[in-house]
Amino acid sequence: MAKHSTRHAVLSDTATHDEKSGDLRAVIETPKGSRNKYRYDPNCDCFELATTLPDGMAFPFDFGFIPSTLGHDGDPLDVLVLMDSPIIAGCVLQCRAIGVIEAREKARGKRWEQNDRLIAVASHARTHEGVKTLQQLRPHTLDDIEAFFIDYNRLHDKRFEISGEHGPTRAAKLVKKGAAAYAKTSRY
């Protein structure tokens, strides 16, 4: 009979930063170009299909979360990771935050809820390897990202309003605050 080992950490409980490089870790839920939106469920440590987008609409970049963080909505912080090619769902990658889109969303009949979107560049990215801030992105990239989130929420009968775009310093503060909020509620 096999010995019982301690429970492995689920993806949402892994370290926020890589110990060696100091880079952020991101868990990819939905690959770039996908019409299927996946969601990680820490209770079963698996990915579930959350929704399918209509023809002509797809995720502009890899979408996921920063582990061991909590945002205002009670979920891990959302992150959109710029990378050359799509990353498979469940992949953990290192990245650097280049900014944050501060936003709030509201479902019909509900209250407004803060739901920011970190923007990061994968450490292995070639196309965006020199990008350190949102201002260094190609023209219209940020506009396209924001339009995607507005349309995505509209499909789900929600409003999505952007209150600001900020650089890496503000993004780092958001991650630090999210990690502190997670540490207060962590059961480990």
Arithmetic mean of pLDDT, 34-61 = 95
List Cα–Cα distances, 183 to 14, 25, 43, in angstroms. Answer: 12, 16, 18
List Cα–Cα distances, 53 to 63, 140, 173, in angstroms. Answer: 14, 22, 32
Neighbours of 82 (CB within 10 A): 22
Structure tokens at 154: 């509209």
- Residue 19: its pLDDT value, please? 87
Report whether pLDDT(1) > 50.
no
Structure tokens at 123: 């450490």
pTM of the model: 0.91
pLDDT confidence tier of residue 187, bands split at 50, 70 and 90: low
Give the integer Cα–Cα distance in Å for 57 and 186. Answer: 36
Report whether pLDDT(80) > 80.
yes
Smallest Cα–Cα separation from 122: which of 155, 157, 95?
Answer: 95
pLDDT confidence tier of residue 12, bands split at 50, 70 and 90: confident
Smallest Cα–Cα separation from 114: which of 148, 84, 77, 89?
Answer: 77
Contacts 24+ apart (CB under 8 A), 103-107: 103/149, 103/160, 103/161, 103/162, 103/163, 104/160, 104/161, 104/163, 105/153, 105/158, 105/159, 105/160, 105/161, 106/158, 106/159, 106/161, 107/156, 107/157, 107/158
In the chain, the domains with their CATH numbers are 16-175 (3.90.80.10)
Arithmetic mean of pLDDT, 37-64 = 95
Minimum mean pLDDT range among 8-17, 21-30, 89-98: 8-17
> Model confidence over 95-124: pLDDT tens digits?
999 999 999 999 999 999 999 999 999 999
Structure tokens at 99: 């900014």
Report whether pLDDT(8) > 80.
no
Arithmetic mean of pLDDT, 66-88 = 95
Across the chain, mean pLDDT equals: 92
Give the integer Cα–Cα distance in Å for 61 and 56. Answer: 15
> Model confidence over 157-166: pLDDT tens digits?
999 999 999 9
